Every structure is written in structure tokens, then in C-alpha cells.
């Protein structure tokens, strides 16, 4: 997992790459990583990607893994629309304590 000094820089870089966006905003849905055994540390985010004009091109809940100390890999992303239409998918991917928060964010 990247150290605190590089965490935000690396996460924004890798989210911009994944979403092919000019800028990204994110909110951690849970402080700190979730890690089971020797698996990669996972972070849960609410992400908003924007193009060069500031138009939102993607928004939703995201699950990322911290790989080594250098990068983040997006494992799953559910758009706001998908979350609203298929809440069971949220329950299948995200930890139970985060589900109500994600479903509520999708209503905004």
C-alpha cells in the first residue's frame, strides 16, 4: 500500500487512468483498508470523474486494491444508475456496513 505521502497522488493518478478522465474527485467510504489474510488491501470509494470541461463523465461506487507500494487497481465500479436500478449488486460487492451509505449516495 502506498505511504501516506503518496496515497492521494497515486490514487488520483490511477483513477484518472481507469476512467480516462481529466480530473477525479473521490471520497473514502471507509477510513483505512480492508484486508483479509494475505490478500491485497482494498479501499472503497465514491468517485466522480470529469472531462476537461468539468462535465461529470462517471460517478459511482468503486472498489480498489492497493498493489505493492506503487499503484491502485480498480476491481469493481458501479455507476450511480446501476446502483439505483440493481441494489443487489452493491450488496454482492461491498461490505454490508457500507451498503446503506452507497445506496443513499446514488440518490443524490
Segment 85-101, tens digit of pLDDT: 999 999 999 999 999 99
Beta-ladder partners of 66: 72
Three cell numbers written together for 42:
482494498
| pLDDT of 32 | 80
Q: How does DSSP classify residue 34? A: B
Three cell numbers written together for 58:
462517471
Burial class (CB in 10 A: 0-12, 13-18, 19+), 23: middle
For 36-91, how does the pLDDT look when each residue is reduced to its tens digit (9 = 90+)?
777 788 999 999 999 999 999 999 999 999 988 889 999 999 999 999 999 999 99
Q: What 3-state class would DSSP assign to 32?
A: coil
Beta-ladder partners of 29: none
| pLDDT of 6 | 79
Q: Where are the alpha helices (DSSP H) in the chain?
A: 4-19, 80-85, 87-93, 99-107
pLDDT band at residue 104 using 50, 70 and 90 as cut-offs: very high
Amino acid at each position: 500500500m502506498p505511504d501516506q505521502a503518496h496515497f492521494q497522488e497515486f490514487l488520483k493518478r490511477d483513477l484518472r487512468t481507469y476512467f480516462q478522465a481529466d480530473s477525479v474527485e473521490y471520497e473514502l467510504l471507509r477510513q483505512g483498508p480492508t484486508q483479509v489474510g494475505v490478500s491485497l488491501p482494498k479501499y472503497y470509494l465514491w468517485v466522480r470523474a470529469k472531462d476537461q470541461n468539468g462535465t461529470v463523465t462517471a460517478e459511482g461506487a468503486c472498489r480498489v486494491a492497493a498493489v505493492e507500494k506503487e499503484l491502485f487497481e480498480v476491481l469493481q465500479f458501479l455507476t450511480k444508475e446501476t446502483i439505483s436500478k440493481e441494489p443487489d449488486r452493491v450488496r454482492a460487492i461491498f461490505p454490508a456496513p457500507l451498503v446503506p451509505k452507497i445506496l443513499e449516495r446514488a440518490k443524490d
